[in-house]
C-alpha cells in the first residue's frame, strides 16, 4: 500500500516537472538531473532507461572549416616538404605535433594527461564518472613520405566528435576519452602499434624495448627521454587493466578502394586481420657471374626468388580472399650485376582474419624454405617469425551502434574487414572494440597522394559522435 502511494506521488511530481520544467532534450539530460535523482531515490523506481533524443542526429554539426585547417596545420610538422608528411616517433616534429594535439584537446575542454611513453589522453567527464569510459582515437606519427590523413583523421576527428556532441547539448553518462597513441608506425624502432601494445600489457614488448635501438644506434629509452618522457623506463605504469574502458571506437580512412568504388559513405569494420611477419636468409657460395657454370652454382638469390613465389602459391591455396601475403623486402649480397648472390634476405608479411588459416600458411612457407634450401644447396641461415599477432573481431554492440548511427544520419554503409594494422587490434585485448572507415581517394595511403574529402571526413565524425553517444549511455 505504502509503495503504491509513493509511486503515485512520483507520477504526480513527474507530471508537474515534465510540463513545467522539462527541457527539450530531456531524454539526453534526465539522468544527471538532481531533482529526477531525488524522485528516484524516494520512490525506489528508475524513471526510465537511458536513451538518446530522436533529434540528436539532426542536431550534429561538424565545423568542417576548422577541422580541415587543423589537418593542414598538423601536416606542416614534417621532416619532408609538402605534400608528403614524415613524422617519426620522438623526433622534433613529433614532439611539436604532440604539443599541437594537447593544445587542441585543452581548447576543447578536455582534461589532458600523458603516460610514460607518450600516449596522450583527453577526457570529457560524464555525469557518472565512476563508470568505465568510452574511448576513441588513433595516431599522428607518419612513415617517411606519406600523407596527412592516415591516423590523423581518427585523432582530430575524435576531438571534433566530442565538440559536435557538446554543441548539440548532449551530456555523456560515461566519460568520453580521446587517445593519441604513440608510434602506430614501426618506422623508428621496427615495432608497430608500440603505444597500444603497451596499453594492452605486453610484457614481451617491455623486455624487447630494453635492448631496442634505432638505425643510428639510439636506444629506445634514450630517445624517449630526449623527447621529454623522463619516466619511460617505467613501462608497467603504461599497462591498462581489462575493463579500463567499456568500449573503444577508431575512425580511420579505409586505406583501400572499396568504399570509393562502390559509392558508400561509411565502412563498419567487423574484424581486423593481423600479420605474421617473417625474416628469412639464405646463404650460398657466390662467385663470378661468368666463371661459375650453372650446374655448380648455389645461388642464394634464386632461392629467395623461389620462396617469394612460394609465398604467393601458399596464400592462393588457402582458398580465401581474406588470406594475403607480401614479400616486401628482398635484398641480395653483394648486389653486383656480375656476381652470383652469396646471401639473400627476405621479409614476408602474411595476414588473415582467421588465425589458424594464416598460421597454416606460415608453416607451409617454412617447409618451402627448407625444401628450397636442400634442393639448391644453400643454407637456410635464418627463418625468424618476428611477430604472430592474433586477429581481432569487432564487438557486436559497437557494430550495431555504428550501423544504427549511419542509418539515423541517412548515410550508406557496409560491413567490411580491415586488412591493415591498427591500434584497435591491441585495444581489443582489453576492451570491446570497433572501427569506422571513410572513403579515401583511389584507396591511396602511406603516400603523398593520400586524400579524403572534408565531406567524407565530416560524415565519419558524425557517425563516430553518434556511436560514442549511444555507447556512453549504456
pLDDT of residue 58: 87
pLDDT of residue 33: 56
Read off the DSSP letter of residue 60.
Answer: -
Strand partners, 134: 176, 247
Q: For 39-93, how does the pLDDT look when each residue is reduced to its tens digit (9 = 90+)?
A: 555 555 444 445 787 789 889 999 999 999 999 999 999 999 999 999 999 999 9
Strand partners, 181: 139
CA distance 149 to 204: 31
Model confidence at 336: pLDDT above 90: yes
pLDDT of residue 274: 86
> Per-residue DSSP letters for 428-466?
TTTS-EEEEEE--GGG--SSTT----HHHHHHHHHHHHH
pLDDT of residue 26: 37
CA distance 207 to 220: 12
pTM reported for the whole predicted model = 0.84
Q: For 170-197, how does the pLDDT look when each residue is reduced to its tens digit (9 = 90+)?
A: 999 999 999 999 999 999 998 999 999 9
Whether 138 contacts 252, CB under 8 Å? yes
pLDDT of residue 55: 80
Q: What are the angstrom distances between the C-alpha of 298 and each of 37, 116, 158, 279, 327?
A: 81, 50, 55, 20, 22
Domains (range + CATH), the chain? 1-6+27-50 (no CATH), 58-273+392-472 (3.40.630.10), 274-388 (3.30.70.360)
Contacts for 451 with CB less than 8 Å, ≥ 6 apart: 147, 149, 440, 441, 444
Q: Is the dihedral of CA 37, 41, 42, 43 positive or negative?
A: positive
Element (H, E) at 402: helix 396-408
CA distance 192 to 447: 18
In terms of Cα–Cα distance, which of 386, 385, 388, 383 is closest to 280? Answer: 383
Q: Which residue has the higher pLDDT, 256 or 16?
A: 256
In terms of Cα–Cα distance, which of 388, 427, 387 is closest to 139? Answer: 427
Q: Which residue has the higher pLDDT, 275 or 427?
A: 427
Helix (H, G, I), strand (E, B) or coil at 135: strand
Read off the DSSP letter of residue 200.
Answer: T
pLDDT of residue 24: 36
Model confidence at 12: pLDDT above 50: no
Q: For 81-106, how does the pLDDT look when each residue is reduced to its tens digit (9 = 90+)?
A: 999 999 999 999 999 999 999 999 99
In terms of Cα–Cα distance, which of 78, 68, 94, 155 is closest to 448? Answer: 78
CA distance 253 to 275: 19
pLDDT of residue 3: 45
Q: Taking the chain, what is the end-to-end CA distance rounded to the nearest angstrom?
A: 33
Q: What are the angstrom distances between the C-alpha of 309 and each of 325, 386, 418?
A: 10, 21, 25
Amino acid at each position: 500500500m505504502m509503495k503504491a502511494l509513493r509511486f503515485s506521488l512520483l507520477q504526480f511530481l513527474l507530471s508537474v516537472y515534465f510540463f513545467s520544467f522539462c527541457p527539450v532534450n530531456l531524454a539526453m539530460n534526465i539522468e544527471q538531473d538532481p531533482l529526477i535523482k531525488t524522485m528516484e531515490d524516494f520512490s525506489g523506481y528508475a524513471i526510465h532507461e537511458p536513451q538518446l533524443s530522436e533529434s540528436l542526429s539532426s542536431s550534429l554539426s561538424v565545423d568542417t572549416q576548422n577541422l580541415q585547417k587543423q589537418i593542414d596545420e598538423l601536416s606542416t610538422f614534417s621532416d619532408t616538404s609538402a605534400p608528403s608528411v614524415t613524422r617519426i616517433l620522438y623526433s622534433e616534429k613529433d614532439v611539436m605535433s604532440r604539443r599541437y594535439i594537447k593544445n587542441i584537446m585543452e581548447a576543447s575542454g578536455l582534461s589532458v594527461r600523458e603516460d610514460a611513453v607518450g600516449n596522450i589522453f583527453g577526457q570529457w567527464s560524464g555525469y557518472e564518472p565512476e563508470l568505465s569510459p568510452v574511448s576513441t582515437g588513433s595516431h599522428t606519427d607518419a612513415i617517411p613520405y606519406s600523407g596527412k590523413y592516415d591516423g590523423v583523421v581518427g585523432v582530430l576527428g575524435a576531438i571534433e566528435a566530442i565538440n559536435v556532441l557538446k554543441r548539440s547539448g548532449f551530456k555523456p553518462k560515461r566519460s568520453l576519452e580521446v587517445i593519441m597513441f604513440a608510434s602506430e608506425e614501426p618506422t623508428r624502432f621496427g615495432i608497430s602499434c608500440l603505444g597500444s601494445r603497451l596499453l594492452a600489457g605486453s610484457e614481451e614488448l617491455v623486455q624487447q624495448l630494453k635492448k631496442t635501438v634505432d638505425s643510428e644506434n639510439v636506444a629506445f629509452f634514450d630517445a624517449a627521454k630526449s623527447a621529454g618522457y623522463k619516466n619511460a623506463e617505467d613501462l608497467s605504469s603504461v599497462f591498462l587493466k581489462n575493463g579500463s574502458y567499456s568500449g573503444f571506437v577508431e575512425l580511420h580512412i579505409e586505406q583501400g578502394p572499396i568504399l570509393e568504388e562502390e559509392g558508400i559513405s561509411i565502412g563498419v569494420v567487423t574484424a581486423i586481420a593481423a600479420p605474421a611477419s617473417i625474416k628469412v636468409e639464405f646463404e650460398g657460395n657466390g662467385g663470378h657471374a661468368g666463371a661459375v657454370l650453372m650446374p655448380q652454382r648455389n645461388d642464394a638469390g634464386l632461392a629467395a626468388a623461389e620462396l617469394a613465389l612460394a609465398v604467393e602459391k601458399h596464400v592462393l591455396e588457402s582458398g580465401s580472399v581474406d588470406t594475403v601475403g607480401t614479400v616486401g623486402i628482398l635484398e641480395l649480397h653483394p648486389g653486383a650485376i656480375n656476381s652470383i648472390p652469396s646471401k639473400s634476405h627476405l621479409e614476408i608479411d602474411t595476414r588473415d582474419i582467421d588465425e589458424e588459416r594464416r598460421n597454416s600458411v606460415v608453416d607451409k612457407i617454412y617447409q618451402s624454405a627448407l625444401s628450397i634450401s636442400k634442393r639448391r644447396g644453400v643454407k637456410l641461415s635464418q627463418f625468424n617469425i618476428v611477430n604472430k599477432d592474433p586477429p581481432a573481431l569487432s564487438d557486436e554492440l559497437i557494430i550495431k551502434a555504428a550501423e544504427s548511427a549511419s542509418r539515423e544520419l541517412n548515410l550508406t554503409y557496409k560491413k567490411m574487414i580491415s586488412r591493415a594494422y591498427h591500434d584497435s587490434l591491441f585495444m581489443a585485448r582489453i576492451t570491446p572494440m570497433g572501427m569506422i572507415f571513410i572513403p579515401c581517394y583511389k584507396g591511396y595511403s602511406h603516400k603523398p597522394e593520400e586524400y579524403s574529402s572534408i565531406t567524407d571526413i565530416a560524415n565519419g565524425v558524425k557517425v563516430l559522435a553518434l556511436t560514442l553517444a549511444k555507447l556512453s549511455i549504456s
